[in-house]
């Protein structure tokens, strides 16, 4: 992603991550695939600082989950994250209406 585009889309990417973390526990590689599906190509080096930032803000909380020899860090939305998503949805709705309202 070009630098300017990344700035433009950074909020959308965060909302996207938050949305999925409200649905189910997410992990780094899974969310990279999910975002790629939507046309956002993020490297792990870009994604992890975003996840850490969301966790530091208090929107996500993470824990290492082990299955057999494998372990991965899973992120879930906190109550504060859910509240933030609900508020953001209103703002997205408003922007959406403006972007797509007819002539």
Binding site for Zn ion (CB under 5 A): 34
As a residue count, the chain comes to 103
Shortest distance, CB of residue 42 to Zn ion, whole angstroms? 13
- Compute the least distance from the CB of residue 89 to Zn ion, in Å: 14
**CA-CA distance, 2 to 4, in Å (whole number)?**
6
**Phi, psi of 58, deg, nearest 5:** 105, 10
End-to-end CA distance of the chain: 31
Of 12 and 71, which has the nearer Cβ to Zn ion?
Answer: 12
Q: How far is the CB of 20 from Zn ion (least distance, A)?
A: 6
Q: Which is nearer to Zn ion, 40 or 78 (CB)?
A: 40
């Amino acid at each position: 992603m070009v630098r300017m585009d990344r700035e433009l889309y950074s909020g959308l990417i965060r909302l996207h991550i938050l949305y999925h973390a409200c649905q189910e526990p997410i992990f780094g590689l899974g969310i990279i695939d999910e975002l790629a599906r939507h046309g956002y190509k993020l490297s792990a080096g870009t994604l992890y600082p975003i996840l850490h930032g969301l966790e530091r803000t208090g929107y996500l909380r993470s824990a290492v989950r082990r299955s057999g020899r494998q372990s991965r860090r899973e992120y879930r939305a906190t109550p504060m994250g859910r509240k933030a998503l609900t508020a953001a949805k209103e703002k997205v709705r408003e922007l959406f209406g403006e972007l797509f309202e007819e002539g």
